[in-house]
Structures are given as C-alpha cells and as structure tokens.
C-alpha cells in the first residue's frame, strides 16, 4: 500500500485548550507517522489564500478570524491511506455532526472552532504542505 502525506493544522482553540498532544497521539495510535511538525501563526493574507475556495460564502470572515486568533501547530502526517485515516479521525466539519470518538466529536463545540484542519485529497495535501512547509517539504 502506498504511503500518503497529508497536512493537519491544529487550530488556535485546540492549542489554547492544551489539546495538541492528545490530537497528535490519536494519529500515532492509528499507526500514522508525524513526518514534520512546527508551530507558528497564520496571518490574514495566508488565511485568505488557504480558504480561498470559501471566499464567496457567508462564513468566510469567521474562518479567517478563527484560524488567525492565535498560535497553531502544523503537521505533515504520513502513512498508508493517511488522508482517509486522518479525515476519519478528525470527524465531520460541523462538531454537532461529528461522531463521538472523533477529534471534533470529542472536543469541538461550534463552527468555525472545530479544532483541526485536514487536507481532503492528495492534490490539496501537496498544495497545503507546500503552502505551510515550503517547496521540497
């Protein structure tokens, strides 16, 4: 089985609540590898680029406010079917719809504060990894 890479961003609300270790541990317990990790912030210009596909939606400004509210943790997660596994572990975008046992189901309470971002396809993953880790990451 081919190894995939995906990007996870642990959002400011999760960092503030001290959930970084718990979130990363869930990926590791699934047998996925944390290939690279760094902390940082997402400025508003980068947030606009990252969420450009939502620019015409009424919740766009709220997304920008949420992701720029504080420090984040960026991680490249690797493993067989990593994208699908990570998306499953993360849970549905809306915390109300997220399955208990998923990261969002256990920790998130309301949109846009859903604790994590996870790439949704191989193409998106590679684009987002380049965006947050640079070329050659």
Which residues are annotated binding-site positions?
A: 11, 59, 87, 93, 104, 114
So what's the pLDDT on residue 135? 83
Please list the ranges in the chain whose pLDDT falls under 50. none
Number of domains in the chain: 1
Q: Residue 2: its pLDDT value, please? A: 79
Domain that holds residue 91: 3-133
5-to-59, 116, 118 alpha-carbon distances in Å: 28, 16, 11
Catalytic residue of the set 53, 54, 85, 117: 117
Nearest to 89 by CA among 78, 77, 101, 97: 101
Tokens standing for 13?
């609300």
- The predicted structure's pLDDT at residue 20: 98
What is the per-residue pLDDT for 34?
Answer: 98
pLDDT given for residue 136 in this prediction: 77
pLDDT of residue 28: 98
CATH number at residue 40: 3.30.70.141
Of 97, 102, 101, 137, the C-alpha closest to 118 is 102
Q: Residues comprising the binding site for ATP? A: 11, 59, 87, 93, 104, 114
117 given a catalytic annotation:
yes
């Amino acid at each position: 089985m081919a190894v995939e890479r995906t990007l996870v961003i642990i959002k400011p609300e999760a960092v503030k609540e001290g959930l970084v270790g718990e979130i990363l541990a869930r990926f590791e317990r699934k047998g996925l590898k944390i290939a690279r990790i760094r902390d940082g912030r997402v400025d508003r210009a980068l947030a606009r680029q990252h969420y450009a596909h939502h620019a015409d939606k009424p919740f766009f400004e709220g997304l920008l406010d949420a992701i720029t509210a504080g420090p984040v943790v960026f991680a490249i997660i690797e493993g067989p079917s990593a994208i699908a596994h990570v998306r499953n572990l993360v849970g549905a975008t809306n915390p109300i719809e997220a399955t208990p046992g998923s990261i969002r189901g256990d920790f998130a309470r309301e949109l846009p504060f859903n604790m994590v971002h996870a790439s949704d396809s191989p193409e998106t993953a590679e684009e987002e990894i380049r965006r947050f880790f640079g070329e050659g990451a």
